[in-house]
Structure 1
């Protein structure tokens, strides 16, 4: 376990380094120097604020599970792009027109530091620049690069995260919700970007292999990985609801029972505790099965196996928590 933690921490250092190197660089204009400096600072502010880096980490570990260390290096631009999209969504979520949050990871939110209008622009810049970095992924087939760009757009746009956010806004405060509606929110708002992480890792793994996957299998595997991410996202959110009900504030690191105090509809309030626990386990097992079914198509070298074990270890830390 100690070796796994150390290995994952080393990969996170790679991610952190790539984030730092993504700092905006402008020509040294003599006019508006202060403004250009502020733009560069504001762009980096939410990126370096911290976080678990789950999405880029899953991207790199999934790539390593298929193509080893070379695939991890190939996936770095994709991982950075995904973290930028996730961070943009948080910047926008915090705005007064959305959740109106003052703090994010213990620090003032972006709009609290730079103002609402500039906070909005920071989110816009992160989203747009994500595609710039993604397009620098070295791909041996045009289809692979095209697929990377399509996947990020699909999972973060109207067919993914945006729909989840829209449903969350529309359904918040309603007390006649059914589980299927809550599931749709979690599937899109949380699950789609996690699925994108798996697909990114898959494609970057293929980039370093000597042989190509036939088109039909390529499409099939992408669909499996996308669905695995959706299942992980749903399970994660169910477990969050369970922990809010059963955990202590000390163990959670946040206020326990907050959902109940706010009379918020959750998986536990709809399904009951036992059924919610069973459902979280079911979605977790389905996700694991889909991932294994994709990895089984590739040679199991010792290097690949190491990264696959790290991937499942990280998912276990994310999902299989005591509740």
Structure 2
């Protein structure tokens, strides 16, 4: 056990506020006291930025939940507690959570072929649903935005020739490696999963399913999820919700799928999503089942060494983040508009843990 994890476990056990509250329509609030550590966190997260050049960190929202209580919340710019913010690729982890409900209902098995639920994938009969969830289906996909837009598969899918039917566009890519062997991050994989969910449910149930299966049981009221012209949810990118509502998904995951006494997500699903995918080629990232994990991989150190090893996250373009630290009972939501490489996940986590009394955790 790492020193950071050991200290945080002792801290959560010793802290008198460790009663596990459940979010109701309104959150229970227990604000953090002012401190130099909290000021350091705010100075990093909400530092002044040159808006003309868009250089530097720009946090739109920062929210921290501990043991189900809202202990810190701050907004900037036009973003407020009532603003449904674009989550970008956090949408992928939201989609995985919706799929977890469907998995618990027996609507699919992880080792089933994608083509069973999405026939346009028939040219790739060996690709399984679990391969898409690991971003390891083996299709040739270029996930670049700013740096190679003319060659970018995701730009074409979202904005040009693929936008009418995004899953079909992704399905048209050729295979370059065997399914389930190599990690290759792909928004196409996520959009095909959204289309496969439609095949599992049928059109009539599909349109409302994220709400009836997940959002409504969690008390999420702000969610919007865009579809492409074919009616398929853009599972890779276009879910919107407030920071408080996104935190509800974090609490659900932090508590292993349990919500107010109901096992909304099966524990088998939680285990799958939080188990590292072992790519045959080394990667700096540690993917799980459409979540990012803080586990050592391929001889590398943990991605965020300042945080306990059980930390996991949903991450999105331009600095969106939902961090979950089960051993400390913590959920952290960050919405942002970072246009450069200034923001550092490890630094934010380090400062946040210190602000909550974790001085000395390295």
TM-score for both structures, normalised by structure 2: 0.24
Greater percentage in strand: 2
Q: TM-score, normalised by structure 1?
A: 0.26
**Highest RCO, 1 vs 2 (Cα 8 Å, sep ≥ 6):** 2
Bigger fraction of residues in helix = 1
